[in-house]
Structure formats: C-alpha cells, structure tokens
Chain A
Amino acid sequence: MKTSAILGAVLYAGAATLGMAAYAADPVTITIWCQDSETQPGLNLAKEFGEKNPDIKVVYRQIHFDDVTSEAMRAYSTGQAPDIIAIDNPEHALFASHGVFLDLTDRIAKSAVIHKEDYFPGPLASVTWDSKLYGVPKATNTIALYYNADMFKAKGLDPDKPPQTWDEMVDAARKLNDPAKNVYGIAFSAKASEEGTFQFLPWAQMTGGGYDKINTDGAVRALTIWKTLLDEKLASPDTLTRGQWDSTGTFNSGNAAMVISGPWELNRMSQEAKFDWRVTLMPVPEVGAPRSSAMGDFNWAIFKSSKHPDEAFKALEYFVSQDPRVFPDWGQLAARANIEIPPTGDAKKDAAVKVFMEQLKYAQPRGPHPEWMKISKAIQDAIQSALTGQASPKDALDQAATTIKGILG
C-alpha cells in the first residue's frame, strides 16, 4: 500500500518533469489519467489523438482502478492535477460539486461533435451537477438477467418466455434449483462493497424508491425477495461475499441457472459457456411497473486547473467522435443511444447486446451526490444485516434511511 503510493508519487513526479520539459520546447502538453490498458479505449484513443495532432503532446498515465479517486484528490490538492481524467461515474459529483472539474456546458453547446441529446439519460445525469455538464460519458454498462435456456428446457420452462416479474423470477429459481446437481436457481452479488449497492438499487428504483427513499414498501419487498432467495438456498450463501465476476463464473460453469450481471461478461461468456445462454431485461415488480437498471462505467472530465482547456476539450471531442468503435474494437458500450452496434458474428452475443441496449434506456446513475460512498455504505449495511437475519428487511432499510437522511442533511 505504502510502496505503491510512493512509487506513484515518484512516477508522477517523473511525468510532471517530463511534462514541464516538453512544455518549454513545445507549446502544449496535455496529461491524461485513465485506468485503461492496451486493450481498452482510453489508452488507444489518447495515443491516436497525439499522433493526429503533432502540435499537442499527450502524456498518458495509467492509474489502477482503486487509486483513481484518491490519486486525483491528492494531485488536485497539491496543484498537480492532470488535464483530463477518467473517473468512475458515482464519484463524478464529488469532484463536480467541489468545483474541481471544468464546467463544459457552453463548450458542449457549441461543439460540432458532442451533442447532449445523443446520450442515454443515465450516463448524462452522472456528468451533470446543478444542471451543468462537468464531463462526457466515456462508456456505459448496466445489468440484466442472463439465463441458461438448456436448463429452462430441462425443467419444463419455456426459454422463449423468461421471467418478467419478480415473482416469476423467484418461481423460476425454485424450479431450476437443483442441489443434487450443485445447481442454484440464480446468482447475483450482495457483497459489502459498491457491487452490492449497484445490484440492489435498481430494485428499489423500480418501485419508485431510490437512494433518498430507500425504505419504501417496494424496496422492503425487494429486499425480502433477496432474503427469500438466500433463505431457501435458491442462491448460494456466498452471494454475500462474492463479487459479480465470480458469481457469473458459477453461471458459466453451469452451477447457476440464472445470473444478474452486465455486458462486461459477454466476451468471457461466449468463450466459456457451453450452453444456450440468453439475456432478458431485469424483471419488474409487476407487469407494467416502471423499469430501472443500474448504470456503471467511467466518465471523462477536465480539471479546472488545466492550463490548456481548449486542447483538452479537443481531445474529448476526438474521443467522442470515435464512440462507434468502442464496441467493435474494445467490447465496451458507448453511452450513446444513436450508435448502431455492428454484428459480431456470434448470434448469442448479438442478441444479448440488443437486450443490453434496450436495458440502458432505463439505467439510472447512483446519485449523483458528493457523499455517494457514505450513502452506498448505508445501503450495503442494510442489505447485509437483512440477509444475515440480524434485522428484518424493514428495520434494516429504516436504519439505512435514517443514516442517509443524516448524510443528505
């Protein structure tokens, strides 16, 4: 922990000196911090932008996912922030509300490339604070229900009519559950981390609840259903400590008949899963109820301290202009509704992407709120105390509501 921080500081100092040296020789250097590696869009787009603009020198620094926010805060408070950063969407409001990010509203309004109306509402809301735009969505993702059509057939369920409501989903899980064969009806993640909140919040939102009204009757019903899934062993007790990636692993290996997870699994699934897997929209409380889903992935932002906001914005415009390549080249979903996803040649994957694109219309951001991580912790605690039987779902969510009320002020 300590060494990596020191190493980071040294690396940063190195990058800063390099930047300064280049600054003296070259009129403009912009620094970009992002977690993307060679197989992801951030690094490649940054490199291309530098190559296409010989008058702008691009310094790219890859930061580890867990360090993005703390590194950025440290850098900003010591006056060494980069020009551009890629930040996880629920943390965007923290920086925007402190006036740390550049207000891009006017630039976007005048831009020939970036159009506010192109974006899905969820990602757009996550870069918005106080009705101003403080960034551009980099990519997006959401969750939906994957299911094993072969198991559906084997248990007499119609794979063309996957569960659409919560009750149907629990019923299906009961029918698909097969302890003798080590098969759970469903897998999801209720981990005591952001992943738990990410998976639960959509359930509350579908009933008209939300982080600011987390103890609605609908949310209590949702948590009660989660508890039923665990109490009846329709989902593994390890749901409480397992992240989404590992939970989906049990689905891929045929140990869970359904799983709630996101499009980031598509590539792995088409390689690993040796059965007919399909995706359907997140089940709703009852037929006709409003849909909702979680929303993940990163946003681009420019620091207010940037000495070259024009060039930095030009870089963002280049990134946005390349959005149509984000799925074909790197397997991520652009946050825009007006991009046609080309077929990949894998029929199961193509069908799944269509469902995710539909689901994205209903994806809602977490927050936006500057104290999101504390709010999220209160929700995680409620989920976990209810699922371990230490409090009833109602009491657990009431407690979370009280805590969150204190945070919201």
Chain B
Amino acid sequence: MRRLYSSLVDGRGFDLCLIGIPLAFLIVLSGVPLVYNVVMSFQAVDMFSLGSFIRPWVGFDNYRQLIAQPEFWPIMGHTATFLAASIAGQFLLGFALALFFWLNFPGASWLRGLFLVSWVMPGLVVGAVWNWLLSGDFGVFNFVLHQLHIISGNVFWRSDPAFALWSVIIANIWLGTSFNMIMLSVGLSSIPADLYEAAELDGAGALTRFWTITLPMMRSSIGALISLGLIFTLQQFDLFAAITAGGPNNSSNVAQYWAWDLSFKQYDFAKGAAISVIMIVVVMLASVYYVRSTRHEVRG
C-alpha cells in the first residue's frame, strides 16, 4: 500500500498517471466520436436512429453513392485549391510580416499585437465583414481595386463561379495570417543573435544569412505551422457559411462544408460521416508524410 502510494506520488505510478489521464481524456473526447463517425459512415442512418449505435450495415454503399454524385470530384478539387492557396498565402504573408516586425523599430511589438485582432474575431463575424467587403455592387474590396486601376468593372467575387472560391480564400488568408506571423515571430526570436554576428563577420549578405541561418533554424516552426495550417484550413467552415454558402452552383463548395450540409441540412448523416472519414484519411496521410520527411531531413 505504501509502495503504491509512494509510486503514485513520486515514481512510475506518477509517470503513468501523467500519461494516462490525458490519454483517457483523448480517447473519450476524440477517440469515441471518431470511431462513432467511422462506424456511421458504413451504416444506413435514419434521422431517428441517430441516438443508437446498432443500425443496418451497408458496407461501402455510402462512399460509392458519394463518389457517384457529379459534384464529388469538383468539390474535392476545390478543397485542394482552398488548402494549398490558403496555407501558402497565410504562410508567405505571415512570414513577411514576422520578418518586418523583427526589425524591431519603435512600436513594433505594439503593432504586432494589433494584428492579432483578426485571429481573435469569431469566424462568422469575419465572414459577415468579408461578405460586405466582397459584395459586387458596393463592396470596399472592389472600390480599392478600382482606385488602384487593377480592375475596370465590378468583380462579383461571391457570385462569379470563377471567383467564389477565391473570395473565401482571401478572407481565410486574412483570418490566418496573424497566427502565422506570431508563430513565426516566436521561431525567429529563438535564433541566437551571435549566429548572425558571426555570419556577418564572415561577409554573408542579408539573403545568404536568410537562406543559411534563418530558414534552416526555423524548420521545425515552419513544419509545425504548416501541419497546423492544414488542420485549421480543413476545419474552416464559418467563412463558407457566411460568404457564399458553397454557391453559386457548388463552385465554392469544399469537403468540410459539404459534410455539414449533408448532415445538418439534408439530414443524410451517413454520407456526411463518409466525407469526414475521407478527410481524416487525407489529414493522416499528410501528417505521416510530414513526420517522415522531416525525420529524413534531420538525419540526412
């Protein structure tokens, strides 16, 4: 009994508790819904059998029907575009801003704090604001582009099938840039200053220093940021609901919005679950690739 107690206070038992409690939380809060979701995607789910676990098994029928729908491949394509463009835009802008504020001019940290406003605002509010900004007839975005002589007529960002997805991407880049900036600022500030001093003494220019010191030293921050970006971007739902509702004619529909629409608008919970499972697989593949590639780089 005493041994158990001392092990729990300061020993192997304590260590196990440290790991075990969060693990139990993780299993209950994430694992169970995940398994429930996967199981549901193989069942025929009626809106009133939602509460029970035992339902008719249909195998891959939900997936087959989903893939057969004409909008399936376009939506998957939009999802890929949305992911790639959002992550690239957020990262590049965030990195540029982080480097800019790294210059440490007077008021830099204060200004950097202001940028966080976009990250703090709820997605639906951001969506509503961008909804007005991007409006074709009276939108501020068009006005600015017009004044800069970039466009001559009004662009209907939300309603033109060629631009609808990009209007959400623009809003999403705006939403995520400040988070990228903060994460990268943290990474930048952890690089020891003497490295740069030494390089400068050796005659390395600003670009060389960036390529040979900044980027390699930031590798882990960048990797973490991109995988987080992938997850946040795949979760982005509010902006679609607020700006385009997936329209016109699905031209801005993406997997996550479609899953919500199927589950909670059309009450086709099984198909909604099937899309979620496909998304989980994609995220898992991406994270496995990321983990493997970074491990390889470090060893090589």
Question: What is A's interface to B at a CB cutoff of 8 Å?
Answer: 1, 69-70, 73-74, 76-78, 94, 98, 100, 182, 184, 191-193, 236-242, 250, 255, 373-374, 377, 380-381, 384-385, 387-388, 390
Contacts and interface: CB of A to CB of B under 8 A. Distances in A.
B10 to A, nearest CB: 36
Contact of A100 (B48, B248, B266): B48
Contacts of A192: 244-250
Centre residue among B246, B249, B267 by max chain A CB count within 10 A:
B249
A238 B267 contact: no
Contacts of B47: 73, 94, 98
Contacts of B138: 182, 255
A407 to B, nearest CB: 10
B41 interface: no
Contacts, number: 89
B136 interface: yes
Given A241-B244, A374-B268, 6 more contacts: A76-B48, A77-B48, A241-B245, A250-B137, A373-B266, A384-B248
A58 to B, nearest CB: 26
Interface string B40-54: 000000011111100
Contacts of B48: 73, 76-77, 98, 100
13 contacts: A69-B267, A73-B50, A77-B51, A94-B267, A191-B247, A192-B246, A193-B245, A236-B137, A237-B159, A238-B135, A240-B159, A388-B161, A388-B249
Contacts of A240: 158-159, 247-248
Interface residues of B, number: 32
Nearest to A70: B264
Nearest to A80: B51
A184 B52 CA distance: 52
Centre residue among A77, A78, A94 by max chain B CB count within 10 A:
A77
Contacts of A388: 161, 248-249, 251
Q: Which secondary structure characterizes the binding site on chain A? A: helix
B296 interface: no
Nearest to A250: B137
Interface in B217-250: 237, 243-250
Contacts of B248: 192, 240-241, 384, 387-388
B29 to A, nearest CB: 10
A100 B137 CA distance: 46
Interface in B251-272: 251, 261, 264-268
A191 B252 CA distance: 13
B61 interface: no
Contact of B156 (A73, A238, A380): A238
B247 A241 contact: yes
A107 to B, nearest CB: 24
A245 to B, nearest CB: 12
A78 to B, nearest CB: 5
Contacts of A250: 137
B87 interface: no
A237 B249 contact: no
A98 B267 CA distance: 14
Interface string B120-142: 00000000000000011110000
B258 to A, nearest CB: 11
B190 to A, nearest CB: 33
B136 A373 contact: no
Contacts of B244: 192, 241
Contact of A78 (B51, B156, B247, B250): B51
A60 to B, nearest CB: 24
Contact of B159 (A69, A70, A239, A381): A239
Contacts of A69: 267
B169 interface: no
Contacts of A239: 159
Interface string B173-200: 0000000000000000000000000000
B97 interface: no
Contacts of B98: none
A388 B138 CA distance: 21
B256 to A, nearest CB: 11
Interface in B145-180: 156, 158-161, 164
Centre residue among A70, A94, A184, A192 by max chain B CB count within 10 A:
A192
